[in-house]
Structure 1
Amino acid sequence: MGISNPFISSEYRTQMIQELIDTNKEYMGKGVTNDLVIESADTDVAGQIQQLQNLISKKVDAILVNPGDVNGLNATLQDAISKGIIVISVDQELATPNVYNVGIDQKEWAKTSAKWLADKLGGKGNIVEIEGFPGHPANAARMSGVAEVLAQYPGIKVLGKDSGKWDEATGQQVMSNFLASFPNMDGYWTQDGMAIGAMQAVLAANPAKFPVGVSEGRCQALQQWADRLKVDPKFESIAVANPPGVSPTGLRIAVNMLQGKKVDKSKLGGATKLSFVLPVPVTVTKDNFQQVFDSQCKGKAPAYLLDGIMSDHDVQQFFTK
């Protein structure tokens, strides 16, 4: 089993890799798999192609790939498939022929928080958007979802949009710039760790009007939420969990495929009908904030992301009996 990951400057990817290692160890203990071959570094499309070529040369039986580009890996992935390697894109959906996808519906994921923001603003107001890496499949799907939602709210104006590169510090800087340019903004939409940075920027600026913003399904972000409630008991936000566990779930699916089990394609979705679409484990709002914070973050590191990993038993639903 091999994993190709082109982005490591994120707690999500750190948790993802560790969970892949832990899940693979379960199968190693049963004599089903060998050591996980890990190709993981901050790199560009050319670098990820090299990662994939390394995995192919090591003759892995299956490749899990968290892609850094929508189309740039296609030829290399097809080369792997031609050599009999099972290829599964995790976390981000690719439309590459014969590549399976395992993950949540990123577009719907983004639409949930975008609709919450629009409704919380009463369908009117000025907002800013902080996106992840342009060109990454998940970011493209998410921003498409946000645009689709906001098209239904003509009273909402997007004052500015910039990339926070899925990085907390960059997200904080981008938000600081927006606050300087648009001190009376009504709200902001962002994603992942950038939400933590954006909130830090708002707290530092202490604007006369506290903008409505989107949070993240991570314990550090939920701690920010808890701290804000002490100052403003009416504070609200939303955090839609983006589970790193989709990748170890993908590993479980790959193992079952290698064992000869047949995928029930009637259970698959996505653009190519080759996607194992997994549920979002939890969406945090004011209604369940305290319960989720107490039950899922107690004893966890601040960087821990709310998660969900399917058991081997659970993934059997995707295979014919």
Structure 2
Amino acid sequence: MATSRFIKDSGLTARMTLTMFLLGALFVGLVVAVIQYVGTGAAPLVAVIAIGIAFWQWWSSDKVAMRAMRAREVTPEEAPELHGMIDRLCALADMPKPRVGIADLSVPNAFATGRSPDRSVVCVTTGILHTLDAEELEAVLAHELSHVAHRDVLVMTVASSAGIAAGLLMRGAQYGALGRRNNGALPAVLVAIVVSLVVYAVSFLLLRLLSRYRELSADRAGAYLTLKPSALATALQKISGQAALTPRDDLRAGNAASALCIVPALRGGGASGLFATHPPLQQRLEQLARIQAELSRPAG
């Protein structure tokens, strides 16, 4: 497993670990419920298909995200300044350099994805290149590189397995594919639907919670790597403010990979609350302000 010099955050790591444990328990509970109420034949099939779908999402995450954001990979000759920044940050973090992409979208944003640090891509939009200055862009890139170093795509993909399994079971029950083992199948089908709905809802909320922890951790790691938390704070404010001026078509295109982006493309309830993939801007700014105060204190 790749290592890096990104700072560790034991508090956030513990909370993410607990959330992952709860999601794993949900997955196991769902399989047990299928065996108990529906039969042993369906449970292995649901588990295998869910894991297969999650594996495919992880394996092809870079291609899917790049396609969704209309992005293309660029060479050092095509984007020398962008490559130069990423080269410096990767050397500072002691991590492999990812591929670099640019999406031709006016919405300012950036994302990182890929199945491993060696097979990752960091992508920025043309909008963010025109919106941020060099220090702010470097802070955003450090945030995204921390996602790569911490294998966040793998974490989120594994965590999604319970929700995928619940969705599959619910779909199967609705079509009567489950519970055909006897004529009194209706109660088993109803149990399958109810259990699946509950597991899917809880999994959805836990995934959103895990995603918010993930963003706070990346903010923190990126800020300590560059030692310029104020630059990341300013970048987040600019990106958030610029979204209101961005054409709706670009916002919709950016929203296709919104959960991966440093700031969600479309708000509409996604900026705060239980359903948000990202923490509120104010919470992120407060964390960065605390880091800035800590770094500004004289040593000793």
TM-score by length of 2: 0.28
Of structures 1 and 2, the one scoring higher in RCO (CA 8 A, sep 6+) is 2
Return the structure number with greater helix share: 2
TM-score by length of 1: 0.27
